[in-house]
Chain A
Amino acid sequence: MSKRIVIDPVTRIEGHAKISIYVDDAGHVSDAEFHVVEFRGFEKFCEGRPFAEMPAITPRICGICPVSHLLASAKAGDAIMAVNIPPTADKLRRLMNLGQMVQSHALSFFHLSAPDFLLGWDTPQPQRNVFGIIASNKDLARAGIRLRQFGQEVIEILGGRKVHPSWAVPGGVRSPLSVEGRERIRLWLPEAYATTEAALNLWKKTMETHQREIQIFGNFPSLFMGLVAEDGTWEHHGGKLRFTDSSGSIIADQVDPQKYHEVIGESVQNSSYLKSPYYLPLGFPAGIYRVGPLARLNVCQRMGVPKADAELKTFKMMGRGAVTSSFLYHYARLIEILASLEYIERSMDDPEILGDYLRADAGINSLRGVGASEAPRGTLFHDYTVDRNGLLEKVNLIVATGQNNLAMNQTVAQIARHYINGSQQIPEPLLNRVEHGIRCYDPCLSCSTHAVGQMPMRVQLIGAGGKVLDELTRG
């Protein structure tokens, strides 16, 4: 008899979601789906608002990556005003985005994902969280929390507050970086480097003992997309879009983000509030692509900074062409923290970073504007259409987690197939592995990190007739 296994809610991710695993008559996993069960409605209720307000409204989508929305929104505003923002403003926005990369990646690695692979999949659920890490390795936990704090400090020094700063605006930014602020960042860098290097060493040991996870946690061919500089260097805020396939070949390059709709289509599923974008020329669902750290490292040729470039070489050797295992998102995340620190360090010596010409002024010069920026989880697009008076007529936001939606489904199915095949009983640690498949992508479903593994999770085995055959509750 076919069954449906539901994991609801999925814990240690940002937001609320559930997983359905469909089991056929022979007990084999036939399919799996990741459903986002929260509805926000931002695209709708922003209609009618002045576009200049968007950098304040859209960051409220999320408390983890507000900076990503802030920057993409401000960039969409730049496009509507059709201005080139002052160079200092661009450099400061980049600096804030790097701070955001560091804090968000540190959160994903140390707080949300590490409990699984550092403490072990079979660790009792009540200990399998950041508090478990604190209990088993206090120094590591503290260093990880401090690394996240460093990223948050960069954001606060620039924007005046850690979460939801109203700082980037259409045309530039609102306040400069002070000399004191710069020195505070500079002083913290050695500690941030040390933590990142320790995490990289730890990760390399983890990879040795987690070969099976590398093989089955979302290891499949797909396209990858990310922003790259003109010469193929890693980008996080500027640059143009590049798509590569799993052999590492470039299939589309230097696509202007303003024309993203020529290469990205969006499909709507009945089972989830998350839209599923796909590479338009290949159609749905063949055009499945992944974004985020793994994709960015796959699409770029170099990081552009020495320490991270050395790591990128090791990383690239882990795939033939592209690195296709989603378990290696964790590795890519650490390399991006390293690169971010190097770029932050580099900007400290740039005299232009302290400039005070920060904001270009203009009216409505284009009725449509797209802002694209690399959020920690992947490329983020804000696409605004305004009327002649600057009031929004249409808002389209394409977020990283949406773009990874198809890949997350495949990952969940792949892990479930490996562990659940034919078994009648489903022990909780196995389901945790399925959940971890989702955590690899560090999905950001809304704005909360309140779930630390303590949330109740309900798993149901549902027969073809809808009858609950087995039920497992935890928490």
Chain B
Amino acid sequence: MAAKTLTIDGKSITAEEGATVLQVAEEAGIKIPTLCHLEGIYDVGACRLCLVEVVGVPKLLPACATKVAEGMEINTDSERLRKYRRMTLELLFAERNHVCAVCVSNGHCELQTMAYSLGMDHVRYEYLFPKWGVDTTQRLFGMDHNRCILCTRCVRVCWHIEGAGTKNVSGRGTKSHIITDLNMPWGESVSCTQCGKCVQACPTGALFHKGSTAGEMERDRGKLEFLVTAREKHQWVVAV
């Protein structure tokens, strides 16, 4: 595969063709914030936190969904980017009901960590306080739509890794939400294998082990990566 040369934050980098800006930056030790990207599954550019500036391109591009090109000059940190990232983050908080203190993911939440790291001390937008419910019909897991940021990681692991296709997105705009099968209670789903990969993938407290109390949800993302790597490298194929 042809190699591409580019610069990220002034640093000259050689990357493989087809790699994304996010991947290449990560390998070069440059951290770009993201909430919807998850190692092992394809990217969709849902959260818009990884937006970067590309010289010569007037609009901001999501690093996770932008492929490297020869001679690209990329900036991952600027006043403009910080402003937009902070704005995006505040909008995520304003859109649903995020109450960290009593959340099952308090202390282990990617959204919370992101807010700390981007210096978000308050939200400038009016909270929508939508009336979303909690689905605890499933025997093992629960889904609290109030804490969902629609990153769709759960949908992607369900389709891409487990292959069950249980999780989907329904509705548009602020009415978008994650559904199970044909928008039925999770406990009534016929396709769900109860594997729990969606719960491992969730960046916030939206998906949780039933019975979890404040701050108790810790996730092991390594499991997902392990599954993907093992599958791609055929580590499970045993010679007979």
Contacts and interface: CB of A to CB of B under 8 A. Distances in A.
Say whether A and B bind each other.
yes
Interface of A: 48-50, 52-53, 55-57, 60, 164, 166, 169-170, 174, 361, 389-391
B229 interface: no
Contacts of B78: none
Contacts of B212: 52
A53 B214 contact: yes
Given A50-B136, A389-B136, A169 B101 contact: no
A50 B134 contact: yes
B213 A52 contact: yes
Interface centre among B102, B106, B142, B187 (most CB of A within 10 A): B102
Taking chain B's interface residues, is the majority helix, strand, or loop, or is none over half, making it mixed?
Answer: loop
B134 A48 contact: yes
29 contacts: A50-B134, A50-B136, A50-B144, A52-B210, A52-B211, A52-B213, A53-B102, A53-B104, A53-B214, A55-B213, A55-B214, A56-B102, A56-B213, A56-B215, A57-B102, A60-B101, A60-B102, A166-B214, A166-B215, A166-B216, A169-B213, A170-B211, A170-B213, A174-B213, A361-B211, A389-B136, A389-B187, A390-B210, A391-B136
Contacts of A48: 133-134
Interface string B98-134: 0001101010000000000000000000000000011
Nearest to B136: A389
Contacts of B211: 52, 170, 361
B129 to A, nearest CB: 10
In which size bucket is the chain B interface?
10 to 19
Interface of B: 101-102, 104, 106, 133-134, 136-137, 142, 144, 187, 210-216
Nearest to A49: B134
Leading 9 A-B pairs by shortest Cβ distance? A56-B214, A166-B214, A389-B136, A56-B102, A169-B213, A57-B102, A52-B211, A389-B137, A52-B213
Interface centre among A53, A57, A391 (most CB of B within 10 A): A53
Nearest to B101: A60
B148 to A, nearest CB: 15
Given A48-B134, A391-B134, A53 B101 contact: no
Given A52-B211, A53-B214, A164 B137 contact: no
Contacts of A56: 101-102, 213-215
Contacts of B137: 389
A53 B102 CA distance: 7
Contacts of A57: 102
A316 B221 CA distance: 62
Contacts of A169: 213
A467 B187 CA distance: 64
Contacts of A390: 136, 210
Given A60-B101, A60-B102, A164-B101, A53 B133 contact: no
Contacts of A391: 133-134, 136
B142 A50 contact: yes
Nearest to B137: A389
A49 B144 CA distance: 9
A41 to B, nearest CB: 13
